[in-house]
Amino acid sequence: MSPELSIIVPAWNEADYLADTLKAARQSAGQANIPVEIIVVDNASTDATRAIAHDHGARVVDEPERRIARVRNTGARAAQAPGLVFVDADTRVQAIHLEAVKSRLDADWAGGGAPIAFYRIDGLLQRRGLAAWNALARRLHLAAGCFVFVRADLHAMAGGFSEKVYAGEEIDYSRRLRRLARHRGLRFAVLDTPPVVSSARKLEWFRPWQHGLVLLTFVLFPWAGRFRRLTWFWYRRPTRASSNRQKD
């Protein structure tokens, strides 16, 4: 049976999270009775990422360049389904999300995103920040990078994710897809579902002042995403990260 959705998982050294993510995706597709293919894009991993992907029945494709937009596009080129779902390697989807994606793409949606939540979040500031993002994303029709879905033909028509940037590619992508959708009488929006759940690992890995520095950098210099040095937040992983993995 041909897949109706291609679930694309970019992965660089994701051995700590990938197995749970792939299990959740496979189980959710079964519960939703939706044929899927799962593609893991191995982004030059040096841990067991590739072996874990194979062990859980995923198709593995390689993308050596460390640029998340390019990794997502590589997965999309390998996909065979008419619907694409980009899921981060630490994000778990449920059947309700895949059901909603399938029904929307079969109707009048070009694509979209979903509300997001974290396995565990302790600080009031972090909770308010997450709530603010979800409200802003719904109002402005912005998909969070951990969960983006789109019709494959429209992804190709839009030229995929912009490979001019190292970070923030999902914001530009959402805006371009929304314009493309509008011209065709379609929608690009955030699903009205429970949140997809992702890890809060960056809250654990980096101190509040580092988060503030990143935010300030992008406020003062909106084109910061074009520079690898200024997007270190997305490409640096503390050596203690593996031992401090968050549990749900």
pLDDT digits (tens, 9 = 90+) for 57-100: 999 999 999 999 999 999 999 999 999 999 999 999 999 999 99
Stretch (H or E) spanning 51: helix 49-55
| pLDDT interval class at 240 (50, 70, 90) | low
pLDDT tens, position by position, 127-141: 777 788 889 889 999
Tell me the Ramachandran region of residue 88: left when phi exceeds 0, alpha when psi lies from -120 to 50, beta otherwise. beta
- How big is the CA angle at 213 (ends 210 and 219), to the nearest 5 degrees? 145
Helices (H), 141-194: 152-157, 169-183
| pLDDT interval class at 227 (50, 70, 90) | confident
Do residues 64 and 103 make contact, with C-beta atoms less than 8 angstroms apart? no
pLDDT tens, position by position, 164-202: 988 889 999 999 999 999 999 999 999 999 999 988 777
Residue 156 in this model has a pLDDT that exceeds 90: yes
> What's the mean per-residue pLDDT of the chain?
88
Residue 244 in this model has a pLDDT that exceeds 60: no
Residue 243 in this model has a pLDDT that exceeds 60: no
Residue 20 in this model has a pLDDT that exceeds 50: yes
What is the Cα–Cα distance from 90 to 196, expressed in whole angstroms? 11
Other C-beta atoms lying within 10 Å of the C-beta of residue 122: 10
Query: Which domains does the chain carry?
Result: 5-201 (3.90.550.10)
Put the strands of the sheet holding 116-118 in their side by side order.
91-92, 196-198, 116-118
What local confidence, expressed as pLDDT, does residue 123 receive? 67
What local confidence, expressed as pLDDT, does residue 168 receive? 85
Do residues 158 and 176 make contact, with C-beta atoms less than 8 angstroms apart? yes
What local confidence, expressed as pLDDT, does residue 205 receive? 73
Between 59 and 121, the higher pLDDT residue: 59
Question: At 151, which amino acid appears?
Answer: R
Q: What is the pTM of this model?
A: 0.89
Burial level of 107, CB count in 10 A (0-12/13-18/19+)?
Answer: exposed
